[in-house]
Amino acid sequence: MSIESLISDGRIAFDALMTDACIITKPGVGPAVINEATGAYTYPARVPVYAGPCRIQVKADINSNVVETNAGDREWTYLTAQLQLSVRTPPGATGSVDAVDVDHICEVTAAPHSPSLVGALFNIQGTYHKSQAVYQRFRVHEVVA
């Protein structure tokens, strides 16, 4: 069996595991605008780069951290997780998996096997590169107070 056929078989098997759906956005372009009456800033709308199947895998291990803020009166916990996507943009998805990058935000829009995951937001922290990838992996943090 060739390496090409093994990778292809692995990709087909992985695609069957992606039962969740998400939308991934990047910051909008343009300056923030201040509302003189309220003093609040309005930022440009986020721009979608990918919407389609995904998989979230949380790693509850040494990479999960509890961090105290400088104020000292509040703790923030973030869990290290992986956002997993197909190597190629799957049929029916919009945008491109190739456009996903660091500092983008992933919002889970469907999770039939974990309904409480819907609405969760993950900040993409980094990418993992492999020469024979069956799926793409992105290191993400979910901030929970």
This prediction has a pTM of 0.82
Label the pairing between strands 41-42 and 47-59: unpaired
- Rounded Cα distance between 18 and 108, Å, is 12
* Predicted local confidence at residue 87, as pLDDT: 94
Inform me whether the pLDDT recorded for 111 exceeds 90: yes
Report how many domains make up the chain.
Answer: 1
Tens digit of each residue's pLDDT (9 = 90 or more) over 118-138? 999 999 999 888 899 999 999
How confident is residue 99, by pLDDT bands cut at 50, 70 and 90? Answer: very high
- Rounded Cα distance between 8 and 48, Å, is 28
Residue 81: domain span: 3-144
Inform me whether the pLDDT recorded for 143 exceeds 70: no
Tens digit of each residue's pLDDT (9 = 90 or more) over 38-54? 989 999 999 999 999 99
* CATH label of the domain that carries residue 22: 2.40.10.270
% of the chain with per-residue pLDDT over 90: 70
